[in-house]
Amino acid sequence: MTDALFQPVAIGPYRLPHRVAMAPLTRSRAGQPGDVPTAMNAHYYRQRASAALIITEATQISPQGQGYAWTPGIYNQDQVHAWRQVSTQVHEAGGLIFMQLWHVGRVSHPSFQPGNGLPVAPSALPVPGKTFIVDEQGQGVWSDVPVPRALTTEQIAEIVSDYRQAARNALAAGMDGVEIHAGNGYLLDQFINSNSNQRQDAYGGSIEHRARLLLEVVEAVVAEAGAERVGVRLTPMGRFMGMGDETPEATFGYIVQALNRWPLAYLHLVEPAVVGTVKDENFDPRWDAIIAQLRATWHGVLMLAGGYDPATANQAVASGRADLIAFGRPFLANPDLPRRIREGLALNTPDPSTFFGGDQRGYVDYPSHP
């Protein structure tokens, strides 16, 4: 039975017909040059418009914010125009779509950076991970990440402005709202976590200081879009790209309580079942206690993601653990996922070799159920 998943729920001004959302999924298929969505991308999202809410693939707010090959941007008018065809297609099919705003911070490569400079971060520390770049033959390859440069306070203020402009651009592109990506080891998460933030100024040290950038970004984006059209994604206990925090209960408890000052559309938490694209069997056992703590702290709608199947998703909603469940890879391979869940139909299996980069194969050719 999946009755709990198919009850309506409201987020901000929107009434969702059910609770099966589409998680943000980086697919590295933006059109070149210019990192612009194409007609194929618009078709991909239209196919999945039966989601209660689509959250777009992570979309960089500036050239500096890019860290992977062929990911889309939302910082110039060509990109705004191209994204408008995506939102139009989704709306024509009866869907709702929020854009995820992204700055990768240190998880980048000089080939993406203006002037081939170093990626930016709260602190100049080594990064235990790789990113996806274009080699001299035009092929996508995985590459080590260099030690980044630490941002100045003036440069931090510029990034806050970039988020605000990106939110304005997303709405101009016809998006119904935006999600601030503050997890998965990217820039805002790098400031939050004590592992990656060793600053001694107003943006480092205490929990309040490490949370400052996220809260400044939320304030700027809310001023542009309205709180009811803004969601925030966090990954408490996440370990991707070297993340880790000495006091996660206190750190994320403070952040979630601080987010309560705005009537946001939703809070989106990622459970530690997956690190990057790999299942994590060694996640911190404190997770359940932390999610219960954050659920009790948060005043609004809570979305969870991370390794859910139809049965566990329904149980999470029925038990009150979450109000919405975001599915990633199941939505990748099943454009009609809500129907399949509701009717108990078999699910297509995703092909990992087509996750990043490529053409329509493994992208828009997964069949819907007859």
Catalytic center residues: 186
Residues 6+ apart with CB under 8 A from 80: 74, 169, 172, 173
Produce one character per residue of 237-268: b if its CB has 16 or more CB atoms within 10 Å, e if not. Answer: bbbbbbbebeebeebbbbbbebbeebebbbbb
**Whole-angstrom distance, CA of residue 235 vs CA of residue 221:** 20
**Whole-angstrom distance, CA of residue 205 vs CA of residue 213:** 13
Residues 6+ apart with CB under 8 A from 146: 109, 110, 118, 119, 127
Q: Which helix (H) or strand (E) holds 177?
A: strand 177-181
Positive or negative CA dihedral for 48, 338, 272, 300?
Answer: positive
**Whole-angstrom distance, CA of residue 180 vs CA of residue 227:** 12
Helix (H, G, I), strand (E, B) or coil at 268: strand
Give the number of other CB atoms < 10 A from CB of residue 115. Answer: 7
Could you tell me the two tokens for 350? 């995703």
| Inter-CA distances, 359 with 41, 42, 57, 343, 356, Å | 10, 14, 16, 31, 10
Residue 40 dihedral angles phi and psi, to the nearest 5°: -65, -40
**Whole-angstrom distance, CA of residue 294 vs CA of residue 257:** 8
Amino acid of residue 345: L
